[in-house]
Structure 1
């Protein structure tokens, strides 16, 4: 998959590296701004099963 993306990006190695970095940063931004806040109420992180002993 990564090889396919690398081969289809335009430019030389430096341009491909910059575009790849921009794509990774865009993916991280979308995850933190939209996906994780949407999924957070659905995840059981606040369901604690430890008793006070």
Structure 2
């Protein structure tokens, strides 16, 4: 029925919200790690461009 379909959709949305809540901080953490790893590589280029 229509009601059961709506319940299923709402349940799926809640599950996705929970999953997304876990994924977002992980993505931010990975981005921070990548940024920290790439920073030492980027700094020499700035020095090279300066001279």
- The TM-score normalised by the length of structure 1 is 0.50
Task: Extract structure 1 runs of 4+ deviating beyond 6 A.
Answer: none
Report how many residues are paired: 38
- The TM-score normalised by the length of structure 2 is 0.51
Larger relative CO (CA 8 A, sep 6+): 1 or 2?
Answer: 1
Q: Structure 1, unaligned stretches of length 5 or more?
A: 1-10
Larger Rg: 2
Question: CA RMSD of the aligned region, Å?
Answer: 2.2
Q: Structure 2, unaligned stretches of length 5 or more?
A: 1-10
More helix by share: 2
